[in-house]
Amino acid sequence: MRWLRVLLLALVVLLGWLQYRLWFGVGGTRAVEELDARVEQQRRQNEGLEQRNAALAAEVADLKSGEAAIEERARNELGMIRPGETFYRVVDEDGAPPVPAAEDEPEETP
């Protein structure tokens, strides 16, 4: 009978040790939950990057396919006009000139 108690105690200790490793050990449930959260975060980031890549690919295809997109960018970003067109600048009531679209350009000094 004594050996049965020792065996039962050893099994309970083994069960406790296995449960501890399952919940708190390396590769346990906490580690799995953390990895799942990281995978989900990476998946969301990848989706955003895929959308960005698709938009850039569409823009590249548009630029390669025709002159309309190039003309639009030249008009909007560079302020270019076609020969024979008249350029009109609309000024606000306070008389302040509008802010240029591209603020990265260096100012010219006289």
Q: Write down the pLDDT at residue 59.
A: 84
**Rounded Cα–Cα distance for residues 48 and 86 (Å):** 42
The model's pTM is 0.43
Mean pLDDT of successive 10-residue segments in the chain (110 residues)?
89 90 78 91 96 92 78 80 81 67 50
* DSSP codes, 2-43: HHHHHHHHHHHHHHHHHHHHHHHSTTSHHHHHHHHHHHHHHH
Q: Which residues contact 81 (CB under 8 A, 6 or more apart)?
A: 75, 87
Which amino acid would we find at residue 17? W
Q: Write down the pLDDT at residue 39.
A: 97
Q: Write down the pLDDT at residue 48.
A: 95
Q: Write down the pLDDT at residue 103.
A: 47
